[in-house]
Chains A and B, each alone.
Chain A
Amino acid sequence: MRAAILRRLVEAQKAGRDVLLATRLTDGVQELIEARNAPRRLSLDAAQVGDALRTGESGMVETPEGAVFLRPYIRAPRIIVVGAVHIAQALVAIAPTAGFRVTVLDPREGFATAERFPGAVLLRQWPDEAMATLQLDARTAVVALTHDPKIDDPALVAALQSDAFYVGALGSRKTQGARRERLGALGFTATDLDRVHGPIGLPIGARTPEEIAVAVLAEVIVALRL
């Protein structure tokens, strides 16, 4: 690999651009392909390159000149945490270790502060306003943690209108039932509402905010991988 390719690769990742590195294994010839551009050098099929960039899965493809390894580098999946609460602090601490980007939003004074969330992306906005700009997609998870329908409900509405791969909300079964009725009254179907994981998190007997964060992250990983 030429050092220039490595530097371009790292730069693209830092800038949040999706790229793919194609390597012909017989002679090491390489091409770094930006997601918006077509492949040029290695007799690659644009559809195969597109698939790899969409799924993030690496793999071998055959070309007339030999086998080529496709390695997409796409943006990490993202968790949008609604509610800058204690569980959110624990989630912000562990989720990046598992490869997730995290955005925390909370409109309340004193909650989404840099002091409580060092290094995290913070938005002090109402969810309906914030969600419109966050471009929720199939690599986005939405986790609602405030217990407050004024904040959680608009976030869940935006999540259910998107392709988010995971939607979860904190609250007991009783709270979930009430939430289901409120969201149902807005026109969401039973199938829509079944997308909301609640009570949130895998059942691991979590008690502390930190343990609940582990349970939530595990459930998000299940939704992403299984």
Chain B
Amino acid sequence: MDQPNTRNSNADPVLAQAAEWLNEGRRVALATVTRTWGSAPRRAGSHMAIAANGDFSGSVSGGCIEGAVIETALDVIESGEPRTMEFGVTNEMAWEVGLACGGRVHLFVEPVAG
């Protein structure tokens, strides 16, 4: 009964997860989509919470940039300073992280602490 009740409540499950990690004494960063252009898969306001061991919850794209966001989030947890990130269409450098869908997104990645 716990699960459906939780889902029927208003709490964003990603934020609830971040709060739970903090309560367990784990260090956490929060990534948020702040702006999108074109066919970006996740709307502005979408969250992804990242714990210091790389566990994460939620998404900020269709899965193409989450790896890079986790790396930045780990830096942000270490430094304690927020960062902005920008991803666009993948260019000719095939190994570069980008959005195959042709959209562009801006992200804000911040430590959650104190």
- CB distance B7 to A1 under 8 Å? no
B1-37 interface code vs A (CB 8 A; 1 in, 0 out): 1111101111110011011001000000010101100
Contact residues in A for B56 (Cβ distance below 8 Å): none
Complex: A66 Cα to B110 Cα, angstroms: 17
Nearest B-chain residue to A73, judged by Cβ: B12
* Minimum CB–CB distance for A97 against chain B, Å: 7
1/0 per residue, CB under 8 A from B, across A25-51: the answer is 101100000000000000000000000
Considering the complex, give the chain A residue whose CB is closest to the CB of B5: A119
B45 sits at the interface (CB 8 A): yes
A96 touches B7 (CB 8 A): yes
CA distance A67 to B111 in the complex (A): 19
In the complex, the answer to whether A7 meets B19 with C-beta atoms within 8 Å is yes
Give the contacting residue for B44; candidates A3, A6, A59; CB below 8 A. A59
| Residues of B with C-beta under 8 A to A13 | 9-12, 15
Residue positions of B touching A, CB distance < 8 A: 1-5, 7-12, 15-16, 18-19, 22, 30, 32, 34-35, 43-45, 81-82, 84, 108, 110-114
Chain A to chain B contacts (Cβ below 8 Å), 20 pairs: A1-B111, A3-B113, A3-B114, A4-B114, A6-B22, A7-B19, A10-B19, A14-B9, A23-B108, A23-B110, A25-B84, A58-B44, A58-B45, A69-B108, A71-B32, A73-B12, A75-B10, A76-B10, A118-B1, A119-B1
